[in-house]
Amino acid sequence: MTHSRPIPLIRLNLMFAILFVSFLLPSAVRAEVVATFWSQELGRNFPHAFFTLHGTLADGTRVRASYGFTAKAITPAILVGTVPGRIEEATEAYIARSNAHFSIGLTDARYEAMMNLVAEWGEGGDHRYQLNTRNCVHFVAEAMRRAGLVVVENRKLMKKPRSFIQSIERLNDGHVRPIDRWASEYVEWSTRDITQTLTDRSSQ
C-alpha cells in the first residue's frame, strides 16, 4: 500500500497567499483599456469612421473617450484641396446611431501611442484635412496600427468607413473581438458604465 506524500506546510501557505491576493486585488487582473472601431454611414454630412477607448489603466485610471478626425468646416472647399481639420469627440447620441465593428485590448503603451496620435492630429499638431489622402479613415487606420493591428490601406476603401474597417477586421481575424452591432446592442459601451465614469470624475 502506497501513501501520497503530504504537501509541505510552506507550500500550502504560499498557495493560500496567492489565492488571497487574487481575490483581494481583482481590479489588477481586469485592468485593460479596450479600443473599439466604429462607422457611421448615415451621418448628417457624410460617412464617418472613429474609435472609442474605454476601460481601466494599470494604475486604476478609468478611461472613456471617443476620437475621430474631420474638417473644421464642411464646405465645398474640402472637394478641391486641403483645409483645416480637427479632432472630434463623438457625442453619445451620435455613437448610438453608429455601428461597432470590432475591438481590441490595449497595453498601457499602446493606449499612450493612440493618445499621442490624437495630439499629433489635433490643434497643436498637423491638423490638415484632405478628403482623398488625410480623412477620418486615414486617421482610424493609423490608430489601428498603433493598437498593434495589421493595416492595409486599399485606396478604393479610404472614403468608405464601414468597408475599410470590415477589411481590417478580416485581415486581423483571430486577433480582434468581432462585434458588428449597433451601439445599443454593444454591452461593453453601456449607459451604466457612462454613469459610473461620470460619478468617478465628479469625485476627483
Q: What is the pTM of this model?
A: 0.78
Helix residue ranges, H only, 9-51: 9-24, 26-30
CA distance 92 to 63: 15
Cα 80 off chain centre by: 31
| Cell, residue 52 | 472609442
Contact 43, 109 (CB under 8 A): no
Instruction: Provide the pLDDT for residue 31.
Output: 73
Contact 188, 103 (CB under 8 A): yes
First to last CA, the chain: 65
Instruction: Provide the pLDDT for residue 19.
Output: 40
Instruction: Provide the pLDDT for residue 187.
Output: 81
CA distance 186 to 182: 7
Question: Would you give per-residue pLDDT tens digits along the chain (204 residues)?
Answer: 444 454 454 444 544 444 443 444 443 445 799 999 999 986 555 799 999 999 999 999 999 999 999 999 888 898 889 999 999 999 999 999 999 999 999 999 999 999 999 999 999 999 999 999 999 999 999 999 999 999 999 999 999 999 999 999 999 999 999 999 988 888 888 644 443 333 333 343
Instruction: Provide the pLDDT for residue 30.
Output: 59
Bridge partners for 178 per DSSP: 102
